[in-house]
Amino acid sequence: MTTTPEAAAPAAPAVGVTAPAGFRAAGVTAGLKASGKPDLALVVNDGPLRHAAAVFTSNRVAAAPVHWSRQAVSDGRADAVVLNSGGANACTGPLGFQNTHATAEHVGAALGVSPVDVLVCSTGLIGEQLPMDKLLPGIDAAAAALAGGRGEDGGAAAAASIMTTDSVPKEAGFRGHGYTIGGMAKGAGMLAPGLATMLVVLTTDAAVEPAALDAALRAATRVSFNRTDSDGCMSTNDTVILLASGASGTAPGAADFAAGLAAVCTDLAAQLIRDAEGAAHDITVRTFNAATEEDAEEVGRAVARSNLFKTAIFGRDPNWGRVLSAVGTTRAAFEPDRLNVAMNGVQICRDGGIGEDRSLVDLSGREVLVEIDLAAGDAEASIWTNDLTHEYVHENSAYSS
């Protein structure tokens, strides 16, 4: 994945949700995790603007925080985001939604803002009620950490507190001409697209109207998080939020802002794949010379979701037959006897048949590039995935026990 567009300013940006002006954040231990690790974060927009946009999972079994936040952000405003790990609050019925409402009310009271301007995100095990006797005092502790203007350097703590099976926190940043974009993400499993994946909070001190924020966010997620497909499993809680404070006083052009936002989202998406549960290989499936971008994306996703392909890469076996088998299940336009496949630069399939000796392919490194030539047009798309390992099976078989 590329992480910076050519138009990006050369200066290295600070990273995280507090890199842009106008934002504070905190991460604390509320006691939701048995491990005792940090598990609750607050991100606050101090303005002067409090514009917001968000995209959510398209899973029909959506968690209570998704329902709440989708409605709360519909007016294009958000003053704060509260995020907890240690419990998804999904499939928890009316009480689960009441707990989400109570969470927003508690944040609103602690910060002096309206609860309808508080977005709520949760991540963790599905089907268990949140321990509100721990979560609400945790909100108080996070708010106290922000008091008196503190929290400008709290982005790293917030990023660490939303981790579940993640092995490392994930932050990114972009410095434009007179403005900054920052972000944090969590996710190491159940990475497959709806409108977005995982939990992500993005911040900017640019002055951008809500409609423009929404358009830029949807464009950025389309080519970053929506192209990240670790295991084909879509979560009930996936949320990507973008907040704008306007504190820089800079109103960037739409194209420049969109490019910077896409760079941050792509950087975070790459970090998610690198941290995928148990993965030994990071795989880019690039499909090109397709009739349409949609065809290229469908082909790449079919290959990325093939367990036979993923296990072959884990075993360092450049089995191009498994690639072609997956391509053949799609509706994409192509002629089977014109397909070409290369792995790490070696064209092992030519015109739908045998190409170069597959033993020339080196899969000993972490990075794997699979290139599929459909010979049907000039469109292309890349999907980012990982291999299927013993460690992935072990970790997910024991997740709730």
pLDDT tens track for 143-192: 999 986 667 889 999 999 999 878 899 999 999 999 999 999 998 654 45
Query: For 356, phi and psi rounded to 5 degrees?
Result: -70, 160
Rounded alpha-carbon distances, angstroms, from residue 339 to 171, 298, 306, 367, 371: 39, 15, 18, 23, 11
Displacement of CA 252 from its chain's centroid (Å): 24
pLDDT at 194: 55
396, 353 Cβ separation under 8 angstroms: no
Which entry of 92, 123, 197, 266 is annotated as an active-site residue?
197
Quick one: pLDDT band at residue 74, thresholds 50, 70, 90? very high
Q: What's the angle, vertex CA 192, arms to CA 187 and CA 194, rounded to 5?
A: 110
Q: What are residue 266's phi and psi, to 5 degrees?
A: -65, -40
- CA–CA–CA angle 184, 43, 49 (5° rounding): 105
Q: What is the CA radius of gyration of the chain?
A: 22
Residue 197 among the catalytic residues: yes
Q: How far apart are CA 110 and CA 120, in angstroms?
A: 15
Classify burial at 261, counting beta carbons within 10 Å of its beta carbon; exposed 0-12, middle 13-18, buried 19 or more.
buried
What are 86-133's pLDDT values in tens digits?
Answer: 999 999 999 999 999 999 999 999 999 999 999 999 998 899 999 999
CA 340, CA 53: separation in Å to the nearest integer? 41
The arithmetic mean of pLDDT across residues 240-247, rounded, is 98
When mean pLDDT is compared across 222-231, 238-247, 288-297, 357-366, the lowest value belongs to: 222-231
Which tens digit of pLDDT belongs to each residue from 91-104?
A: 999 999 999 999 99
Q: Mean pLDDT over all residues of the chain?
A: 91
Residue closest to 198 by CA, chosen among 206, 210, 190, 207: 190
Beta bridge partners, 282, equal: 367, 386
Q: What is the pTM of this model?
A: 0.88
Reported as type and span, the H/E element at residue 164 is: none
Task: Enter the tokens of residue 220.
Answer: 């950025």
